[in-house]
Structure 1
Amino acid sequence: MKLSYKLYPFQNSNPNQKSIGTIIILHGLFGSSKNWVTVAKLLSEFGTVYALDQRNHGDSPHSETHSIPIMASDLETFLHDFNIQNPILLGHSMGGLVAMYFDLTHPGVLKKLIVQDIAPRSYPFAYDKEIQSMSFPLDGFTSRSEIDLEMAKYVPDTFIRQFLQMSLERKEVGLYRWKLNVEGLNQTRRVFEDVFTAENPSETKTLFLLGGSSEYIRNSDLDVMDQFFKNNQKVKFEGGGHYIHFTHQKEFMETLVNWLQRET
C-alpha cells in the first residue's frame, strides 16, 4: 500500500551541522501524522523527517486488512519507493509495535530505533469505548462541539476525545466524517496479539521512552525489552502515561535531542 505522509526537510541554522539521515515517525492507533507535527519539526533539525499515515488512518487508503506484519510491509514499500537507506525509526504504541517488528524482521536495515511506551508482546484490543464514540451517525451534527457532547457519553476523558477528533473532518458540503476506517479497525481486534515470536534478537541501538504511570508497561516488560533488543536504553518519565510526547513534551523533546546528539 502507498502511504500518505508529511515531509519535513532537514533544516538547521548551524551551517556546520550535517544531516544524520532520514527519520521516520509511525503514529499509534487512532492517530495520524497530525499528532506529530511538533516532534517532527524538532527532529528536522537533525535530518529529513517523514511522518507517515499508516493504513486505515489519516490520508492513507482504507483496507480490510490491518495487522502489524502488513503495516511493516507498508513501511518496507515506502522505504523502497523513496530509496531510503538506514533510517532512524520512531514509533508510538501501534507504531512502536510496527517499528519493533520491522527491525526484528529486517536486521541491519535501521540505523536506530526509538519506541514510545509499548513493549514487544501481545496486547488486548481494549478500545470498545473509543470505537463506540466514533460509530454513531454524524448526519445532523452541525458543529464539533455537538459531536463532542455525544462522544462524551462513551469517552469521558476530554484529552482522549480531543485526540480522536484530530481525525474528524468536515467535508465541503458541511457534513462531518471520520478519516479513520473505524469499522475496519473494529473488525481487526487481534491486531496486537501473537506478533513477537522472532528467535533472533535485535542489535539495533534502541531507545525506549516510557510513561512512569503508563498502563501499557508492566515491570516484566523491561526484561522482555532486553530479551528482544540487546542494545537498548530506557528512559522513564515519572507520572507520565501513554502520550508523553504531549503531556511531558519538554522533557520528551530534551531526551530525544540529547540521545540523538550523543549517539551521532
Structure 2
Amino acid sequence: MKAIHRQRQCLILWRISTIKVLHRSAVDLAHKIHGDNESGGAPVVVLHGLLGSKRNWESMCKMIASLNRKVVAADIRNHGESPHNSSHTYPELAADVSKLIDSLALKQPAVIGHSMGGRTAMTLALTEPQKVSKLIAVDISPVSTAGILNDFFPKLIDQMKAVDFSGQQKSTVTQARGFARQKLLSSGMFADGGGIQFILMNIGKRGDTIGWMCNLDALKQHFTDIATFPEALKSKQYDGPVLFIGGDQSNYIPPSDIDGIRGIFPKAELQYVKGVGHNVHAEDPRSFFQLVSNFLSK
C-alpha cells in the first residue's frame, strides 16, 4: 500500500510540475478588445490560423461584438505583434491563451479558432475545460490533416524566408509589401495572385526593422507540431457544446471525420458553408456570422 501511495504522490507531483512548466513558458499575447458589453452572454476569444493575425478577424470581431459580447482577438505566439519564441506546440499555444484569459479575468469565454487557432482552442478545451464555455472550430479537424497543409505551407514558408528585406529598410511598409509580392509571384506559388494579400499582411515593423512579423524559423522548425493534432489529447473528452464550421470547397474537415470528432467532442455539431474554401469567415462572412450567432445564443 505504501508503494502505491508513493506512486500516486509522484504522479500528482509530475502533473503539477507539468502544468507549471507549461504556464511558465506561456507568453503574453498581443490582443485587441472589441466591445465591452457582456450582457449578451459570455465573452468570446478569437484565434487566427497559421500565417494570420488578429487583423484578419477585425470585421468579424466587430460583428460578434454587436451581439453585446466582449470579443478578444489575439495574435498567437510567433505571429503578429505577439512575442517570438523558439517553441511552437499546441500545449504551449493553449497555455498562452489560458494566461490571456486569466490576465483579462474572462469568465468562461466561448473560444473561436480558425485552422491552427482551432486546434489551439481544442487543446485548451481538452486540458482546461473549466475555462471554456463553448468551442467553435473553423475548418480544421482533430482527426485528419488536409494534404495542402503538409504540401503547400512548408514550401510557402521557404519562399517567404527567401525574400530579402535588407534593401527595404528605408521603404514604407506598403512599398515592402509590393516588393515581397513580386518575389512571391515569381515563385509560381500564386499563379493567379489569389491568397497572396493574406500573406502580405504579415509584413510590418518590429522595432525599427521592416520584414515578416511572424517567426518563420520557429514555424518551419515546428511545422510537424502544427500539422498534427496531439495524439495524447485524442483520448480526452470535452463535454461542452462544440460547433465545427467547414467550407464545402475545402478538404480540411471531411464529413467522414465526424465519428472521430465526436469521440473527443461528444456534443459536436458539423456545419458547412456552401461555395467557400478554407477561409470561411472571410469568404462568406454573412453565412459564417449567422452560424456563430445561432450557436452562441443557444
TM-score scaled by length of structure 2: 0.80
1:90 partnered with 2:124: no
Give CA-to-partner distance per residue, 1:194-242, whole Å, 9 cap, x none: 5043323211101111111212122322222111111122111122211
- Residues 12-67 of structure 1, C-alpha deviations (whole Å, 9 max, x = no match): xxxxx923121000110101100000111011123111100010001000010001
RMSD of the alignment, in Å? 2.0
Check if 1:40 corresponds to 2:61.
Answer: yes
Residues 206 and 213 of structure 2 are in contact (CA less than 8 Å); yes or no, is this contact kept in structure 1? no
* 1:2 and 2:28 aligned: yes
Q: C-alpha displacement at 1:110, in angstroms? A: 1.1
Once residues 228 and 276 of structure 2 are traced to their aligned partners in structure 1, the CA distance between those partners, rounded to angstroms, is: 25
Which residue matches 2:100?
A: 78
For 1:73, the aligned partner's letter is A
Secondary structure of the 1:36 match is: helix
For the pair 1:118 / 2:131, whether they are aligned, the reply is: no
Residue 62 of structure 1 corresponds to 84
Most deviating of 24-33 and 100-109: 100-109
Contact 1:108–1:204 under 8 Å retained in 2: no
* The one of 253, 256, 259 aligned to 2:289: 253
Deviates more, 1:49-58 or 1:192-201: 192-201
Q: Quote how far apart the aligned CAs of 1:186 are.
A: 1.1
Counterpart of 1:169? 204
- The aligned counterpart of 1:132 is 158
User: What is the CA distance between 1:122 and its match in structure 2?
Assistant: 5.6
State the identity as a percent: 29
- Aligned partner of residue 223 in structure 2, secondary structure: coil
Please give the residue correspondences for 1:92-111 in structure 2 after superposition, counting only pairs within 5 Å.
92-111=114-133
> In the superposition, relative to structure 1, how do residues 37 and 220 fare at CA in structure 2: closer, same or farther (>3 Å)?
same
How many angstroms does 1:105 deviate by? 1.2
Q: Which runs of 5+ in 2 are unaligned?
A: 1-26
The verdict on how the C-alpha distance between 1:35 and 1:194 changes in structure 2, with shifts beyond 3 A counting, is closer
**How much does 1:183 deviate?**
1.6
CA 1:97/1:248 → structure 2, altered by over 3 Å: closer, same or farther? same
Question: What TM-score do the two structures reach when normalised by structure 1?
Answer: 0.90
Match of 1:14 in 2: none
Matched, 1:189 2:215: no
CA contact (8 A) 2:237 2:263 kept: yes
Q: Which runs of 5+ in 1 are unaligned?
A: 12-16
Moved more, 250-259 or 164-173: 164-173
SS at match of 1:233: strand
Rg larger in 1 or in 2?
2
Aligned residues: 256
Aligned residues of 2:111 and 2:121 also touching (Cα < 8 A): yes
Equivalent position of 1:145 in the other structure: 178
- The structure carrying a bigger helix percent of its residues is 2
Contact 2:144 2:253 in 1 (8 A): no
